[in-house]
Amino acid sequence: MTDLSSLPITKKWPAQHPDRVQLYSLPTPNGVKASIFLEETGLPYEPHLVSFSTNDQMSPEFLSLNPNNKIPAIVDPHGPGGQPLALFESGAILLYLAEKSGQLLPSDPARRYETIQWLMFQMGGIGPMFGQLGFFHKFAGRDYEDKRPRDRYVAESKRLLSVLNQRLVGRDWIMGDEYTIADIATFPWVGNLVGFYEAGDLVGIQDYPEVTRVLQAFRARPAVKRGLEIPKRA
Ligand SMILES: N[C@@H](CCC(=O)N[C@@H](CS)C(=O)NCC(=O)O)C(=O)O
């Protein structure tokens, strides 16, 4: 039986099943990337809720895993060399779990790097830009008199949507027939933009029909439906 009790994170979030991947998260667009992957692949895992309303992400136990105080983070009790491996950054988590499970990342080297390229496109572009748009459109930034920051993020989000739309022409998913971690990284953010952020009209989402088509297909997947609710909010 694996023993994770020496890890400080397990003091606040005890592992009931220390043999399983431990997920510390909240159902946000970054958080659900990990839970959707785990639901899609069936890798055994145990979710733990990191509540922002109680600032759990700033607790010493969480910071021991991710000094950057952001979800998601994981501990794989059976990491390289059979030792526990702690990881943060959703892109790194997706890559690690895909390689570990041999799922949702093409094995052909060229296609594998193409998938990683689109994963990075989400991590460096879609996530940060849509996130800023959300701040200026829906949250505190909404009240700023100067609309130039908001307009900048709207313009950049539109540009990214148009790149994604073009990529999806004639393809079922970002990598064609193959559903991959690039889709799992990207579509929670597109869903969040038009859903929670209520920015669909602002970015003119109807101008990106390939994106909305694939978003619909993504949302219809049973594992996505489950993953979007994990960990359960209190
Ligand atoms: N680049 C990081 C971003 C993670 C991130 O921004 N997480 C947000 C929720 S979507 C968070 O934990 N925010 C809490 C905070 O900033 O205190 C990743 O992809 O994992």
Tens digits of pLDDT across the chain (234 residues): 789 999 999 999 999 999 999 999 999 999 999 999 999 999 999 999 999 999 999 999 999 999 999 999 999 999 999 999 999 999 999 999 999 999 999 999 999 999 999 999 999 999 999 999 999 999 999 999 999 999 999 999 999 999 999 999 999 999 999 999 999 999 999 999 999 999 999 999 999 999 999 999 999 999 999 999 999 998
Ligand 1 pocket (Cβ < 6 Å) reads 28-31, 52, 57, 69-71, 89-91
Atom of ligand 1 nearest to the CA of 26: 9
Q: Which residues pair with 47 in a beta bridge?
A: 23
Q: Give the per-residue pLDDT at 126.
A: 98
Residue nearest to atom 16 of ligand 1 (CA): 70
Give, for ligand 1, the residue of 54, 57, 63, 70 to mutate: max count of ligand atoms closer than 8 Å to Cβ: 70
First to last CA, the chain: 30
Q: Which residue's CA is the nearest one to ligand 1's atom 15?
A: 70
Q: For ligand 1, what atom is nearest to the CA of residue 89?
A: 20
Cβ neighbours, 10 Å, residue 55: 11
Ligand 1 centroid – CA 168 distance (Å): 27
- 70 Cα: distance to centroid of ligand 1 (angstroms): 4
Specify the pLDDT at position 2.
Answer: 87
Alpha carbon of 90 to ligand 1 centroid (Å): 9
3-state secondary structure of 125: helix
Mutate to test the pocket of ligand 1, among 25, 30, 122, 138 (most ligand atoms within 8 A of CB): 30
* DSSP string computed for 197-232: T--HHHHTGGG-HHHHHHHHHHHHSHHHHHHTT-SP
DSSP states of 20-69 as a string? SEEEEE-SSTTHHHHHHHHHHH---EEEEE--TTTTGGGSHHHHTT-TT-
Counting from 1 in the atom list of ligand 1, the atom nearest the Cα of 29 is 10
Distance 48 CA to ligand 1 centre (A): 16
Using alpha carbons only, give the angle 172, 174, 176 rounded to the nearest 5 degrees.
Answer: 50
Strand bridging mode 45-49 / 85-88: unpaired
- 131 C-alpha vs ligand 1 centroid, how far in Å? 10
Question: If you measure from the C-alpha of residue 233 to the centroid of ligand 1, how many angstroms do you get, rounded to a whole number?
Answer: 16
44 Cα: distance to centroid of ligand 1 (angstroms): 24
